[in-house]
């Protein structure tokens, strides 16, 4: 409990305890831990005097929040119109099949979390897959699977271009 309270206190103070800043607070929490653990949310709710049901509503409304731990890597596939026209839908199906992962879920071996998103706004590169912040353009079913097979549990491939 002490750990949770310390982290949450710090995050809430960052926004001067303003309830309107709930979403940035939850984003900070997720950036810190990788997901939104229920104990942390409960403590945050108490501190802000906001019911747990409200936190849950927010956490489940926005697609970027997750309530379960994520994998070692973060894989985002763009399913925007252009990527879709250029075959991203089929690539997505192939990834789900090959790695037994559902959209928004994590592979059984916790290798990566898979998030298809609406558009990353890099249409000149379509179809686009983003792995740990690195943009892979013009991916095909084969090249996408090859990139994902090349991931390993230890190594993170964070790129300077998009790391926050």
Partner 1 sequence: MISTDAKFTSPNDIAAFARQLRNKSKAIPKVVRVCIGTGCAAKDSRKLYELFQEAARKSSRDVRVETKNVGCHGFCERGPIVVIDPGEIFYQQVEEPDVAEIFRETILGGRILERLLFEDPLTGKKATKAAEIPFYNVQKRVVLSANGLIDPTQITDYLAAGGYSALAKVISSMSPEQVIEQVEESHLRGRGGGGFPTGRKWRSCREASGNGKYIICNGDEGDPGAFMDRSIMEGNPHSVIEGMIIGAYAVGAEQGYIYVRNEYPLAVRHLTGAIAQTRKRGLLGKNILGSNFSFDIRINRGGGAFVCGESSALIASLEGKPGEPRAKYVHMVESGLHGKPTVLNNVETWTNVPKIINNGGKWFADIGTEKSKGTKVFSLVGKVVNTGLVEVPMGISLRRIVEEIGGGVKDDKKFKAVQTGGPSGGCIPAEHLDARVDFDELTKLGSMMGSGGMIVMDEDTCMVQVARYFTEFLQKESCGKCTPCREGLAQMLHILTRITKGEGQADDLDKLKALAELLEGTALCALGKTAANPILSTIRYFQAEYEAHIQQRRCPAKECKGLFRYKIDEEACKACGICLKNCPVDAIVGEKKVPHKIIQEKCTLCGTCWDKCPFSAVLKV
Q: Using an 8 Å Cβ cutoff, are 112 and 74 in contact?
A: yes
Q: State the nearest-atom distance from the C-beta of 130 to partner 1, in Å.
A: 9
Interacting residues toward partner 1 by CB under 8 A: 19-24, 27, 50, 54, 57-58, 61-65, 79-82, 84-85, 117-126, 128, 133-137, 160-164
Nearer to partner 1, 109 or 162 (CB): 162
Nearer to partner 1, 2 or 160 (CB): 160
Nearer to partner 1, 1 or 163 (CB): 163
Q: State the nearest-atom distance from the C-beta of 66 to partner 1, in Å.
A: 11
Nearer to partner 1, 6 or 64 (CB): 64
Q: State the nearest-atom distance from the C-beta of 98 to partner 1, in Å.
A: 16
């Amino acid at each position: 409990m002490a750990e949770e309270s310390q982290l949450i206190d710090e995050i809430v103070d960052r926004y001067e305890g303003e309830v309107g800043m709930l979403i940035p607070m939850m984003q900070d929490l997720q950036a810190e831990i990788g997901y939104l653990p229920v104990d942390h949310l409960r403590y945050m709710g108490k501190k802000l005097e906001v019911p747990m049901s409200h936190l849950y509503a927010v956490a489940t409304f926005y697609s970027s929040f997750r309530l379960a731990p994520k994998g070692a890597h973060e894989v985002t596939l763009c399913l925007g119109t252009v990527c879709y026209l250029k075959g991203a839908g089929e690539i997505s199906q192939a990834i789900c099949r090959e790695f037994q992962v559902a959209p928004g879920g994590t592979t059984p071996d916790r290798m990566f979390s898979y998030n298809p998103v609406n558009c990353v706004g890099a249409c000149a590169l379509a179809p686009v897959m983003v792995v740990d912040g690195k943009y892979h353009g013009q991916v095909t079913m084969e090249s996408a699977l090859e990139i994902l097979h090349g991931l390993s549990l230890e190594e993170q491939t964070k790129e300077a271009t998009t790391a926050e």
